Amino acid sequence: MVAAILTVLVVLIAAMVALAGASVRVLREYERAVVFRLGRVIDKKGPGLVLLVPAVDRMVRISLRTVTLNVPPQDVITRDNVPVRVDAVVYFRVVDPDSAVVQVENFNKATSQIAQTTLRSVLGKVDLDSLLTEREELNEELQKIIDDQTEPWGIKVTTVEIKDVGVPQAMQKAMARQAEAERERRAKVINAEGEFQAAARLSEAADVISQNPTTIQLRYLQTLSEIGINQNSTIVFPIDLVQPLLNAVKPPEEHAQSQLPKGNGTAGPLVDSTRQGEVADR
């Protein structure tokens, strides 16, 4: 009799423990519970302790944390008929747990499929250059389109980032040649601009120098001194270029005497000529 009573007590205690385990749930801070009572949504609960009616209530646990979804690589043909392979990453979170459970069967899978189809659709409308250089604008457009489509499911897409763009090997070589040609073009333009500016400055310098002939001689001598830095150089002074500078630095008497014509009948030169004749006779 005592054994039968103990058995009944053990069974009752086990049933109470099982009943308590089925009716009590503990939710973390980032979790919410969507409770169905006889198939109907009654409320979302959490965080903390949640009490359920056994055999009547059913709970679906939803996380409100941001989910990182890697979009599988997609084969895309751009507007200029270049095949590329693009992969991206999508960041989203649940903002309405009721809609995420009721409106869609599996919001993770649905969001992934929407991201893949949108990626192919949007990137197929742009050319390769835009795909490589305008990623920020494309990311914003992808984020807006995916977010609009997932909004009825209680999903908020916060960010979409294009991770990598795979370009065929032949196209990479063509792009390298194009970049090299562009750099050569810029170098030629810069060189031509430099020559144009140098020619303009030389023209201005020539106008200034032409106002004073002595300046030309000084500039010529400065150039010769720069050439003469090398000891193996031989410098030739043309007399017609140096003579105006020498005349400019002579005393007035010598300059006036140098201007007299030869054979003017002065005594000095006649005596010298006679003496030179006598020396020659000897």
DSSP state of 46: -
Residues 227 and 247 in one domain: yes
Of the residues 62, 80, 113, the one at which a domain ends: 62
The pLDDT assigned to 69 comes to: 93
270 domain-assigned: no
Question: Are both 218 and 204 inside the same structural domain?
Answer: no
Q: Helices 213-227 and 239-249: crossing angle, nearest 10°?
A: 120
User: Mean pLDDT throughout 48-76?
Assistant: 88
Q: 35 with 127, same domain?
A: no
Domain count of the chain?
Answer: 4
Q: Is residue 11 part of a domain?
A: yes
Say whether pLDDT at 252 is over 60. no
Spatial CA neighbour of 255 closest among 243, 263, 267, 264: 243
User: What's the mean per-residue pLDDT of the chain?
Assistant: 78
In a domain, 275, yes or no: no
The SS3 call for residue 3 is helix
pLDDT of residue 262 exceeding 70: no
Q: For residue 168, name the pLDDT band (cuts at 50, 70, 90).
A: confident
Q: Is residue 219 located within the same domain as residue 205?
A: no
Please write the tens of the pLDDT for every residue from 192-202.
988 888 888 87
Supply the range of the domain harboring residue 181: 170-211
The span from the CA of 156 to the CA of 115, in Å, is 13
Structure confidence at residue 235 (pLDDT): 61
The verdict on 127 and 72 lying in the same domain is: yes
Has residue 220 got a pLDDT over 70? Answer: no
- At residue 21, the pLDDT reads 67
What is the band of 214 on the pLDDT scale with cuts at 50, 70, 90?
Answer: low
Percent of the chain whose predicted confidence (pLDDT) is above 70: 72
Is 231 inside a domain boundary?
yes
Claim to verify: residue 21 and residue 78 sit in the same structural domain = no
User: Domain check: are 138 and 220 in the same one?
Assistant: no
Which band of pLDDT confidence, cut at 50, 70 and 90, is reported for residue 42?
confident
Widest Cα–Cα separation across the chain? 177
267 in a structural domain = no
φ, ψ of residue 47 in degrees (nearest 5): -80, 175
